Amino acid sequence: MLRKTHLALAISAAVLFTGCSKAPEEQQATTAEKTVAEASSSDIKQNPFFQEWNTPFGAPPLGQIKTAHFLPAFNQAIVEHKKEIDAITENERPADFDNTIAAMELAGSTLSRVSAVFFNLSNTESNDQMQKLQREVSPLLTRHRNEIRMNEALFKRVAKVYENRGSALLNAEQTRLLERVYNSFVRSGAQLTGEQRAEFAKINERISALTTEFGQNSLNDSRAFTLVLEESDLAGLPQAQRDAAAAAATARDLPGKYVITLNRSSVQPFLQFSDRRDLREKAFKGWANRGDNDNEFDNKAIIAEIVELRAKRAQLLGYKHHSEYVLSNSMASTPETAMDLLLKVWEPAVEKAEQEREWIKELMAAEGVTHELEPWDWRYYAEKVRKAKFDLDQGQIAEYFELNNMIEAQFYTAERLFGLKFVERTDIPVYNPVVRVWEVQDKAGKAIGLFYGDYYARSTKRSGAWMSSFRTQQKLAGDVKPLILNNMNLNKPAEGEPTLMSYSDAVTLFHEFGHALHGLLSNVTYPTLAGTSVPRDWVEFPAQLFEHFIAQPEMLKKFALHYKTNEPMPEALLERIKQAGTFNQGFATVEFTASALVDMAYHQMTDVKDLDVRAFENKILTEYGKPEEIIMRHRSTHFGHIFAGGYSSAYYAYMWSEILDADGFDAFLEKKDIFDPETAERLYQFIYSRGDTLDYFEAYEGFRGRKPTTDALLRNRGLD
């Protein structure tokens, strides 16, 4: 998953701080200006954000930055950014690309680096103080963004450059940037007038507050649940899961106990292996009901308000609903196109899941099981079916997937494809001792950036896996090198023990590293167009394509080594893994697509009143014929992708990108060389290095030589 937090608010003035006129109350000094006026110059000078960062690569001096530094830094940076925007609007020279568009790209650099550090730490080192500060900072940034979005003088200059683009002798990248900037202004309400402007700004500020609250509720409700076990409760669990549960208990001062948390890497293996049905039910309900426990962290009312506000905002801009607004700026272009893809996959997925259900029921009958198949039973009995049909034990497989070997595997793949080298650095400041940092060098040995890896779950960290950055690549302000961060939530083992991971976790590791490479290999001039700053249904393509490499026999033989013996995975086990490659894909596709369908249904609503979240989920999925034993991969109340992140009406993008990645990886398979140099060069030239400088369909055809087809996707999921 690509994580775009409020860092995106500050990275590019051109696209994200787009246009606004001052409301009457804003004619007075803003909160930020008052605060800065009251602050002493010595306080500002002592704040790390206003000092030169004398660190390798100018990396954030994370050991020096304290929570108390953030609010003064945000306030000062906002004031600086306003002055930079004023200098653009007050420029007496006629508006042109350099004095307007490029100047906006350079504006807000201090705010960008403050935001980058703050929101990365909010996701990884959260506490009550940080959460309180985030609730204050998020609306502050939204107000600042709204002021600039509604700046009529600024928009007039942008519009003038856009009108004169035909005679301006712009290069292709500049033309692309200008089009994005202008369209972003329009999509951000710059053409609204009067009361509509005020309403639009008010909606944006409220949505910002609500999405922040949603994310914090999800984290806090997850923290509130722990399943504490005794030795006698561990029947069925492989040793790796027992060790992880013991380590989780030790971290919570529960010696001699075992703890299952709601992190996916903890709860999902428990559901898969535990013989204790009563405990599986308890764990499953805790996992499924995050944000839906009618407590202080309940998200249902927040969802209803967000959906209503998004619909109103889209209609203010002239769109029928939020989905139409979002997809008008995507590869899919329309909700109808996205829905067509989802339904093409949904029907064969349900059919395959029904077949899988029959296999499970046959096994249950053979074992004399009399209870009904429930959602907390599926993974457990599916694992038994997998073992019976393919002699495949997931616990045994995990013994071959050790974290350090998998990190080495992803670096090896990047070296073979793009000539990259990763040199671990211990002199780069980090925010937690578990974080590791590597200098990334190109084939000539020149440093191109830093890669941070934060792989372990902890109570201060939000769930899931994602890529983000402390700094994005650009050339406009000099040779600015990217600082890219990958996060996962693996179970931290006891001291001295190896970190074993499931095959699914290994795929996720490669996925997030694919995003990281998209950021590291970016080679563009303007920050707005750099790296992963592309639509959701394109941004997942480079990440999902990279996933394919870990599944290849050549890679498994080299890096899937037993954690005790260091022996490679046996050929017979490799073959069984290959044979079982599409097993349970009906289940996996249904739970994913169910979430995407509900996302689309929320955001195609035009009149939102009295939205009952539970009833809405049930209604939509019943109409589509979802099997009762399978729930959404992300139930609405913890569906951070769409209610706390940037995937609203865009969760389908993973499936859309899977068309591209499945078809795209076939380019290597057709060459009978997964590291074919010519194919890898096209992959670099048209995909990983281009950012948003080229039309996405043109980029894909440049890489593949033709348009994509769905054949490989259906084949890979066993749905053909």
| Residues designated catalytic | 512
DSSP count for the chain of H helices, then E strands: 31, 7
Closest CA to 288 of 189, 370, 202, 221: 221
Q: How far apart are the first and last CA of the chain?
A: 26
Other CB atoms within 10 Å distance of the CB of residue 176: 20
Q: Which two tokens stand for residue 562?
A: 């037993």
Spatial separation of the C-alpha atoms in residues 117 and 112, rounded to whole Å: 9
Distances (CA, A) of 655 to 283, 506, 538: 28, 19, 11
Q: Which two tokens stand for residue 32?
A: 């930020």
Quickly count: other Cβ atoms within 10 Å of residue 264's Cβ: 20
Give DSSP secondary structure letters for 586-629. Answer: HHHHHHHHHHHHHHHHHHT-SS--S--HHHHHHHHHHHTT--TT
311 in Cβ contact with 648 (< 8 Å) = no
CA-CA distance, 227 to 249, in Å (whole number)? Answer: 10
With contact defined as beta carbons under 8 Å apart, do 557 and 567 qualify?
A: no
Sign of CA dihedral 540, 541, 546, 547: positive
Give the span between the Cα atoms of 528 and 692, in whole angstroms: 8
Q: Name every residue whose Cβ is closer than 8 Å to that of residue 149 and which is 6 or more positions away in sequence.
A: 17, 18, 19, 20, 185, 188, 189, 190, 201
Output b/e per residue, 396-420; b: 16+ Cβ within 10 A. ebbbbbbbebbbebbbbbbeebbeb
Q: What distance lies between CA 596 and its chain's CA centroid?
A: 15
In angstroms, the CA 698 to CA 718 distance is 29
Bridge partners of 452, per DSSP, are: 437, 485
**62/5 Cα distance (integer angstroms):** 19
DSSP letters of 686-710?
IIITTTTSS-HHHHHHHHHSS---S
338: nearest Cα among 604, 112, 79: 604
The token pair that represents 21 in the structure block = 């006129």
